[in-house]
Amino acid sequence: GTDYGMFSDCDLVIEAALEDEAVKSGVYAKLDAVLTDNALIASNTSSLSIARLAAASGRPDRFMGMHFFNPVPVMALVELIRGEATADTTFDAVRNLALALGKTPIEAGDSPGFIVNRILMPLINEAAFALHDGTGSVAAIDEAMRLGASHPMGPLELADYVGLDVCLAVIQVLHADFGDDKYRPC
């Protein structure tokens, strides 16, 4: 009953499969077989190329990134990422949905990690290196960042909350796609 723009009568699927391009592509192949022609797909990827995922979807003009943050009911931000072929009508429909959900959408470029994870994951990775080399304990590192940088939680606590598997997958994407050792996983 909610009008999300010109696609008010279409399906919108928000894919939230593992942060693995092959897994997501497999999901899109299955979706393509059952979705209507005008259905939209938004990926909740944390770092993967929207252009590559859109190509795998078979509907690149009706595909884009819609990156939510955990816990989704609490966190206001959603990054919206266009692929090379994302239609303006697709973007508008997904943006309107984000607003209807009470989220604050921001448009991010289709670059590895988008905005938040491109900045956040190197911080978490560096915290892991600091723990690994004995610079500080888990408690010391987290407290230092809470008190010294006014972060609401420490980077290692946040890594546990996000999921170490997701953190590793994202930092691996940053390392592989940028080819820069500053993103080398700890």
Q: Does residue 6 carry a pLDDT above 90?
A: no
The amino acid occupying position 170 is: V
Q: Tell me: the pLDDT tens digits for 143-177?
A: 999 999 999 999 999 999 999 999 999 999 999 99
From the list 170, 7, 176, the residue with the least C-alpha distance to 87 is: 7
Name which residue leads in pLDDT, 35 or 86: 86
Which DSSP symbol is given to 106? Answer: E
What pLDDT does residue 32 have? 85
Q: Is 67 a catalytic residue?
A: yes
Q: Tell me: the pLDDT tens digits for 64-107?
A: 999 999 889 999 999 999 999 999 999 999 999 999 999 999 99
Q: What is the largest CA-CA distance in the chain?
A: 56
User: What token pair was written down for 22?
Assistant: 């092959």
Which DSSP symbol is given to 49? Answer: -
Average pLDDT score over the chain: 93
Distance CA 100, CA 132 (A): 43
Contact assessment for residue 130 and residue 136, using Cβ atoms and an 8 Å cutoff: yes
Q: Does residue 181 carry a pLDDT above 70?
A: yes
Q: Pick the catalytic residue: 67, 132, 151, 175? A: 67
| Residue 156 burial by Cβ neighbours in a 10 Å radius (0-12, 13-18, 19+) | buried
Residue 107 burial (CB count, 10 A): 13
Identify the H or E element spanning 26. helix 21-34
> Cis bond leading into 73, ω under 30°?
no
| Confidence band, pLDDT 50/70/90 cuts, at residue 11 | confident
pTM metric for this prediction: 0.90
Q: Tell me: the pLDDT tens digits for 101-142?
A: 999 999 999 999 999 999 999 999 999 999 999 999 999 999
Considering just the CA atoms, what is the radius of gyration of the chain in Å?
Answer: 18
